[in-house]
């Protein structure tokens, strides 16, 4: 199965796992001081649920005492090429030779993530080489990001698609990004008056089904206070927690079956 097929299936905001695997795959070669230079969906292969990075035809190793590499010509697939990949061997505003390094791969990753979210690459509306060259190498060109439900996902793409290569996050930073590692609140709060709202709705919809009402009542009691006899000050061991979860799961299954029977009747 090719990466193109895998990414097409998972297009959209929720493909968290595949995004993580992509970052981990590229991180592996970057740790070996290798720049791939042609990252695109077709170069990711899904093997038994695990993503593999392939096609190192134009990859190049970074010397141990450098962070960038210099190439003889532009390389890579246009829609995923970084600004510096288009301008390699030219000089920047400070007179320095423009080189490609890990940040170039990060840009390509950003284009892939963008495609997974929106179904197209950031510069897909520009059809010719020169049209893409003009906008990608223009530091003032603004990439359009349509709204997404998770603002951290938007931020993750922007961290990869910063025009200045020095401003792009490295993969170790990206792996700790809040989109991939959501902050855990110190305390979880549950509004007491809303905890059994779903059960109330179910009970109201099947008020003529005594068995369903009884199951709803049992579930409501367990969710409200799982401690026997209302001893709220008594802690519950992990073993007891597992048993309670199992009991809740069984009650939910029975309620689901009863609702199905109720609808058929």
pLDDT, averaged in runs of 10, over the chain (265 residues):
45 63 86 83 76 62 38 57 79 66 91 91 90 91 92 93 93 89 61 63 77 80 66 65 76 78 66
Q: Please, what is the average pLDDT of the chain?
A: 75
**Contact assessment for residue 49 and residue 6, using Cβ atoms and an 8 Å cutoff:** no
Measured between alpha carbons, how far is 35 from 104 in angstroms, rounded to an integer? 8
pLDDT recorded at residue 168 = 94
CA 137 to chain CA centroid, nearest Å: 27
Hey, which residues are catalytic here?
38
Q: Is 106 exposed, middle or buried (0-12, 13-18, 19+ CB in 10 A)?
A: buried
Measured between alpha carbons, how far is 256 from 262 in angstroms, rounded to an integer? 10
pLDDT recorded at residue 75 = 40
Measured between alpha carbons, how far is 249 from 199 in angstroms, rounded to an integer? 14
Q: How many residues belong to the chain?
A: 265
Within the chain, what is the greatest distance between any pair of CA atoms? Answer: 82
Pull the structure tokens for residue 231. Answer: 């001893």
pLDDT recorded at residue 114 = 93
Q: What is the DSSP letter of 203?
A: H
Measured between alpha carbons, how far is 60 from 104 in angstroms, rounded to an integer? 12
CA angle at 172 for the pair 166 and 178, rounded to the nearest 5°: 100
pLDDT recorded at residue 135 = 93
Q: What domains sit in the chain, N to C, each tagged with a CATH number?
A: 3-174 (1.10.510.10), 192-264 (no CATH)
Question: For 93-104, what is each residue's pLDDT tens digit?
Answer: 666 656 778 899
Q: Is 259 exposed, middle or buried (0-12, 13-18, 19+ CB in 10 A)?
A: middle
**Contact assessment for residue 212 and residue 259, using Cβ atoms and an 8 Å cutoff:** yes
pLDDT recorded at residue 207 = 75
**Would the pTM count as exceeding 0.95?**
no
CA 153 to chain CA centroid, nearest Å: 7
Query: What are the backbone angles phi and psi of residue 184, rounded to the nearest 5°?
Result: -100, 120
pLDDT recorded at residue 189 = 52
Residue 151: in which H helix or E strand, if any? helix 151-160
């Amino acid at each position: 199965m090719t990466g193109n097929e895998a990414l097409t299936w998972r297009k959209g905001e929720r493909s968290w796992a595949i995004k993580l695997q992509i970052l981990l795959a590229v991180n592996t070669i970057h740790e070996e001081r290798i720049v791939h230079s042609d990252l695109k969906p077709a170069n990711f292969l899904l093997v038994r649920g695990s993503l593999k990075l392939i096609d190192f035809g134009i990859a190049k190793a970074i010397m141990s005492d450098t962070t960038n590499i210099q190439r003889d010509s532009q390389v890579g697939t246009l829609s995923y090429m970084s600004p510096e990949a288009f301008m390699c061997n030219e000089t920047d505003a400070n007179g320095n030779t423009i080189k490609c390094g890990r940040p170039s791969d990060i840009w390509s990753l950003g284009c892939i993530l963008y495609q997974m979210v929106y179904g197209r690459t950031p510069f897909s509306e520009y059809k010719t080489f020169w049209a893409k060259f003009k906008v990608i190498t223009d530091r003032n060109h603004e990439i359009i990001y349509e709204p997404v439900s998770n603002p951290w996902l938007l931020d993750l793409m922007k961290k990869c698609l910063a025009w200045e290569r020095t401003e792009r996050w490295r993969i170790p930073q990206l792996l700790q990004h809040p989109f991939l590692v959501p902050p855990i609140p110190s305390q979880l709060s549950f509004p007491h008056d809303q905890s059994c709202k779903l059960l109330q709705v179910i009970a109201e919809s099947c008020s003529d089904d005594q068995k369903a009402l009884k199951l709803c009542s049992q579930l409501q009691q367990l969710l409200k206070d799982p401690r026997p006899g209302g001893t709220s000050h008594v802690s519950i061991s992990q073993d007891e927690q597992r048993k309670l979860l199992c009991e809740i799961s069984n009650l939910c299954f029975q309620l689901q079956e009863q609702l199905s029977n109720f609808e058929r009747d």
